[in-house]
Amino acid sequence: MARAGLLVGALDSVLDSNARVTPFRILLQVPGSQVSWVISSGAAIGEVNKHWDWLVHNLLHSLSVFENKEDGASFVRGKVKGLIAEEVRGRQAAQEEDPEKFRELLRKFELHFGLPSSEKLVTYYSCCCWKGRVPRQGFLYLSINHLAFYAFLLGKEVKFVIPWAEVTRLERVSSGLMTEAIRINTRKRQREFSMFLNLDEAFGVIGQLADIALRRLLDSEGLELDRVLQQPARITKRILEEQAIREYVLALFRLPRGERLHEVASCSVWTPHARCHTAGTLYTTDCYLCFSSREEGSCTLLIPLSEVLSIEKAESTSLLPHPVIVSVRSKKAFQLIDLHDRDELVENLNARLRSLQWKQAMFRGKKDSKRSMRSPTPYYTFYYDTGPV
């Protein structure tokens, strides 16, 4: 592939152990030029090979649309710079609520689009917007009320704004030169975006913001927003991620809409029918303990806290690491293991259990107080018996 020669894989071994140059690099070089740019570098060949695979899968096929090799090289450099900026943004966001990189992009967002100062920027992604066969590398900005895109490449500026209220269809597509893209339709036109560092995450956030806008627009017939989303100025990417997990748990276990999600932890639960521990995820809410197996449909467990007598830590062994025993009123108990943060988890669960038991005691005189919270599915489906045989 002649055009594929724009990306040259260079395995540059450095014999001097004191050298600061990484031993493996991927270089970008225009044929006939003595200048090259480092696209990727790493201390291990496996790390660089992963980067090369991404370039082959997402970028190389796009270079065929550039007749001028310099234009193709400029496009690749812009794309890689955008991905680096996004990766740095992710690391900073994990360490601080308002990273400097985000503030810099916020200033650009306000400068490029001239939206009201009250328009809150939620997050942004480096990606390409396609115009025919030509990819335009830039940044996709996602705010409370709008999706906006800005690119400046080869002396040409491209920018547009799409109100969420005008989005009629959102889908993932794969066609032509694009391996996979996000297609957004409005009543007037269609836009396609690809080459995301994490397409799944971007598609999820875009879907959530479009859904929030729709619910705010209708604001009736059961489509009211959850309390955490009722104040647009407080919505952040982290809140959207937490809300997505909560919606998943409420739907999976058919829990009341008012339930708040507290902890999410990987663990394994003993399943007598399989005579083994089944790996999965534990979700805890205000009034329930929920477990879903890693293998879909293998094991689903729902325990109302109103039926729980005690939640205790057991002695950890090599066969049963970090175990927790949940005892219920029917003289049965559930055994969970591999709970690495079990001390904090058990403390939080017991605090909610004590609070619930106190509330039950206050209303014990009422006729139906004992069954005020019923499980929509049998909580006793999987257990092990602690009583005498």
CA distance 20 to 287: 55
- Residue 13's pLDDT is 34
CA distances to 44, 287, 313, 335 from 327, rounded to whole Å, are 49, 15, 11, 9
- Residue 118's pLDDT is 80
pLDDT in tens, 307-327: 999 999 988 888 889 899 999
Could you write out the DSSP letters of every residue in 291-346?
Answer: EEESSTTS-EEEEEGGGEEEEEE----SSS-S-EEEEETTSEEEEEE--TTHHHHH
- Residue 102's pLDDT is 74
Look at the domain 76-215 and name its fold.
PH-domain like (2.30.29)
For the chain, domain boundaries: 3-58, 76-215, 256-385
Asked if the domains 76-215 and 256-385 are classified in one and the same CATH topology, the answer is: yes
| Higher-confidence position of 281 and 375 | 281
Looking at the DSSP assignment, which residues form a beta bridge with residue 194?
128, 181
| Contact between 92 and 167 (Cβ < 8 Å) | no
Nearest partner of 158 among 178, 135, 180, judged by Cα? 135
CA distance 58 to 21: 27
CA distance 101 to 119: 18
- Residue 2's pLDDT is 35
| Higher-confidence position of 79 and 172 | 172
- The stretch 223-244 carries a mean pLDDT of 64
Position 142 pLDDT exceeds 60:
yes
Position 163 pLDDT exceeds 80:
yes
- Residue 203's pLDDT is 92
Q: Share the mean pLDDT of the chain.
A: 75
CA distance 123 to 118: 15
- Residue 79's pLDDT is 66
- The stretch 221-233 carries a mean pLDDT of 55
- The stretch 212-232 carries a mean pLDDT of 60
- Residue 1's pLDDT is 36
Assign 369 a pLDDT band (cuts: 50, 70, 90): very low
pLDDT in tens, 256-267: 888 888 999 999
Model confidence, pTM:
0.51
Handedness of CA 267, 273, 274, 275 (dihedral sign): positive
Could you write out the DSSP letters of every residue in 116-131?
Answer: -TT--EEEEEEEEEEE
- Residue 183's pLDDT is 92
Assign 300 a pLDDT band (cuts: 50, 70, 90): confident
- Residue 38's pLDDT is 73
| Higher-confidence position of 169 and 44 | 169
Looking at the DSSP assignment, which residues form a beta bridge with residue 128?
137, 194
Handedness of CA 161, 167, 171, 177 (dihedral sign): negative
pLDDT in tens, 29-83: 777 676 667 777 776 787 778 777 777 776 666 666 666 667 667 767 666 666 6
Q: For 69-86, what is the HEC assignment?
A: HHHHHHHHHHHHHHHHHH
Look at the domain 256-385 and name its fold.
PH-domain like (2.30.29)
Percent of the chain predicted with pLDDT > 70: 67
Lowest mean pLDDT among 40-54, 75-89, 144-158, 203-217: 75-89
